[in-house]
Amino acid sequence: MQSFTYLSPTEVVFGKDTELQTAALIRRYGGSRILLVYGGGSILRSGLLNRIQQVLEEAHLTQEVFGGAKANPTMEHAREGVKKALEFQADFILGIGGGSAIDTAKAIAIGAAAPDTDLSEFWGGAKKPVTALPTGAVLTISAAGSETSNSAVLTNLATGAKRGLSSDLNRPRFAIMNPELTYTLPVYQVACGVVDIMMHTLDRYFNPTENEMTDAIAEALLRTVIAKGPVAVRDTHDYDAMSELMWAGSLSHNGLTGLGGPGDFAVHQLGHELSAMFDTAHGASLSTVWEAWALAVCDAKPSRFARYARNVWGLTEGDEDTLARAGIKATGDFFRSLSMPTSFSENPDIGVQAETVLRDLAHRCSNQGRRTIGSFRVLDEEAIYLIYRGANY
């Protein structure tokens, strides 16, 4: 097991009606002037924004709203949010929604605490943030895990790059998780979430190390999501299934399922490039490339994929290579059973692409050939290109 530091300080408040505790939680973490950050309007339609505003008003907390975070949120929009936070003199940023709203809230919290530094310097890696305003999250979709993660992902429209910033400053002070708030989700978004939750664990699980405790937690999480995901897709009002997905979503991306290993995250990097170029949903970007990635890297350590097939999918027949391939196919079949795309042609936002586009994707994903991705098998620009080509059917 490699050395690690594990910090997961977010106070999780889970269950029905927990959004009614928003004001008390904000007060506990020192907020008095609250900027409410949300997405495209689902929380207006569901009445959630109204409920939260009322609770804050009753607690005499001063509030301002900042909506409009797009799925695949942009740095340009977050910059406007920083401006608004500064004008309003916000001392607490509350993200209400999914990864897009919460990541925008995190970016505003970092930007407002360092008004002389442009967000692109932090998200481009030129500077490390040293302080941030406190944030909280009210979650409405189980997927990105941003409610407890140390990461925030933005697309810089000017450069076309979609990149994450990892920093413990990004950890929200609290996360309100009421599974009933996810009942209004479209089935497609539930399925995207199932893929993303699995992928946060898979992108950690497939690394060069073996750590029994961590691996066993990861496998249990994957089995849970595989059991409950299809139930949630069939009935978004199934409290048990939506609860399990919600908790799995947080545990999958707060660091727990990868402790003691280096992580891989190649599939996330491959997917971010697809979302940046084609604006496809994050979960769909991941299922689109996962099988092509797995087939390209499996030979690096077939025994790892065989263990995955046995412990996650319950497969037993055949030698290590056969099992490894069967586990990959089972994963692809599972995604397809949720109507999630597993190739470019199955993804309506993408479609089969010309050779030049595949090369361009690989060039961008490798930061113009300056970085490799992954650890299970380290992938350079050419290897990245071959994976995109493998998914291009």
Residues that bind ligand NZQ (CB under 6 A): 39-43, 71-73, 97-101, 103, 140-141, 143-146, 149, 151-153, 181-182, 184-185, 189, 192, 196, 253, 268, 282
Binding window for Zn ion (CB under 5 A); candidates: 131-139, 172-180, 190-198, 362-370: 190-198
**Residue from 19, 103, 147, 196 that binds Zn ion (CB under 5 A)?**
196
Nearer to ligand NZQ, 248 or 324 (CB): 248
| Per-residue burial over 67-103, b = 16 or more CB atoms within 10 Å of its CB, e = otherwise | bbbebbbbbebbbebbebbeebebbbbbbbbbbbbbb
Least distance from Zn ion to the Cβ atom of residue 159, Å? 21
The H helix count followed by the E strand count for the chain is 15, 8
Using rule CB under 5 A, residue 147 touches Zn ion? no
**Residue 40 binding result from ligand NZQ, Zn ion, none, given CB thresholds of 5 to 8 Å by partner type:** ligand NZQ
Binding window for Zn ion (CB under 5 A); candidates: 18-26, 29-37, 189-197, 257-265: 189-197
Nearer to ligand NZQ, 112 or 144 (CB): 144
Binding window for Zn ion (CB under 5 A); candidates: 103-111, 195-203, 243-251, 349-357: 195-203
Nearer to Zn ion, 282 or 364 (CB): 282
Nearer to Zn ion, 134 or 374 (CB): 374
Binding window for Zn ion (CB under 5 A); candidates: 113-121, 146-154, 194-202, 322-330: 194-202
Q: Looking at beta carbons, which residue is closest to Zn ion?
A: 196
Nearer to ligand NZQ, 59 or 187 (CB): 187
Alpha-carbon radius of gyration of the chain: 20
Q: Is 299 exposed, middle or buried (0-12, 13-18, 19+ CB in 10 A)?
A: exposed
To the nearest 10°, report the CA torsion of 214, 219, 222, 224: -110
Query: What count of other Cβ atoms lies within 10 Å of the Cβ of residue 310?
Result: 16
CB 287 within 8 A of CB 340: yes
Q: Quick check: helix, strand or coil at residue 118?
A: coil
**Residue 149 binding result from Zn ion, ligand NZQ, none, given CB thresholds of 5 to 8 Å by partner type:** ligand NZQ
| Per-residue burial over 357-386, b = 16 or more CB atoms within 10 Å of its CB, e = otherwise | bbbbbbebbbeeeeebbbbbbebebebbbe
Strand partners, 177: 14, 139
Residues that bind Zn ion (CB under 5 A): 196
